[in-house]
Amino acid sequence: MLEVQDVNLFYGAAQALRGVSLKAEPGKVTCVLGRNGVGKTSLMRAIVGQAPVAKGSIRFNGEDITTMAPSERARRGIAFVPQGREIFPLLTVAENLQTGFAPLKRADRFIPDDVFSLFPVLDSMMRRRGGDLSGGQQQQLAIGRALTMRPKVLVLDEPTEGIQPSIIKDIGNAIRYLRSKGDIAIVLVEQYFDFAKELADHFIVMERGAVVMSGDGAALEDPDVRNRIAV
């Protein structure tokens, strides 16, 4: 269980998060919704350790990880698929996947079969450079790299952004499959409402750095939610 409690985060004098709390449980998808610039990415960066928090706590399976380095969090199984994917364009697909080995013990340093069964295109492109892949293929590669880390928490920041519908479907199926395994807590940042609605077990809606609504997936039917995130 990942528990973010009452977190504040600043960039210089500008406050990006105001008392934000969120929980993510294994076998569930927690969606983070909200318009551009409300702090969704900042929250993800706080969870993975890329941005320090000024107040509040982040706990994982009871352990306080609030000030822990990103590499230590990765070792505990917190994996990040960042917005814009951030794959290595000059490395091959295989090498990009292998960067996920970093937090693993030597015996675990192989690419799990799930990566290729979920995204067969990666298997056929192992020797191609990451930069030669389409945007959708790069997104699959970024998720594959995170899965190579054997995550216990999978943090996905807008995985559907700029991606063609057939690959969005594959990504949705991959998330459903990973949830069904029951041992991964999934945190999904989304602006694509219908995608989020299909997947969310729990959700929060953010505005100006704060959580303004939260609930179970079924409550996403509330028209107020759609109004708050409509662009």
Residues that bind ligand ATP (CB under 6 A): 11, 14, 16, 34, 36-42, 83
- Helix or strand holding residue 160 (H, E): none
Q: How far is the CB of 83 from ligand ATP (least distance, A)?
A: 6
Nearer to ligand ATP, 1 or 210 (CB): 210
Q: DSSP state, 152? A: S
Q: Shortest Cβ distance from residue 191 to ligand ATP (Å)?
A: 6
Q: Which is nearer to ligand ATP, 14 or 230 (by Cβ)? A: 14
In degrees, rounded to 5, the angle at the alpha carbon of residue 116 between the alpha carbons of residues 137 and 186 is 75
| Other Cβ atoms within 10 Å of 52 Cβ, number | 11
Tell me how far, at minimum, the Cβ of 231 lies from ligand ATP, in Å: 10
Q: Which is nearer to ligand ATP, 35 or 150 (CB)?
A: 35
Q: Of 157, 171, 165, nearest to 31 (Cα)?
A: 157
23 in Cβ contact with 2 (< 8 Å): yes
Closest to ligand ATP by CB, 93 or 190 = 190
CB of 31 to ligand ATP, least distance (A): 13
CB closer to ligand ATP out of 32 and 93: 32
Residue 159: CB atoms within 10 Å:
25
Shortest spacing between CB 129 and ligand ATP, in angstroms: 27
Cβ closest to ligand ATP, residue 11 vs residue 105: 11
Distance CA 78, CA 90 (A): 25
CB 8 → ligand ATP: shortest distance, Å?
Answer: 13
SS3 per residue for 12-81: CCEEEEEEEEEEECCCCEEEEECCCCCCHHHHHHHHHCCCCCCEEEEEECCEECCCCCHHHHHHCCEEEE
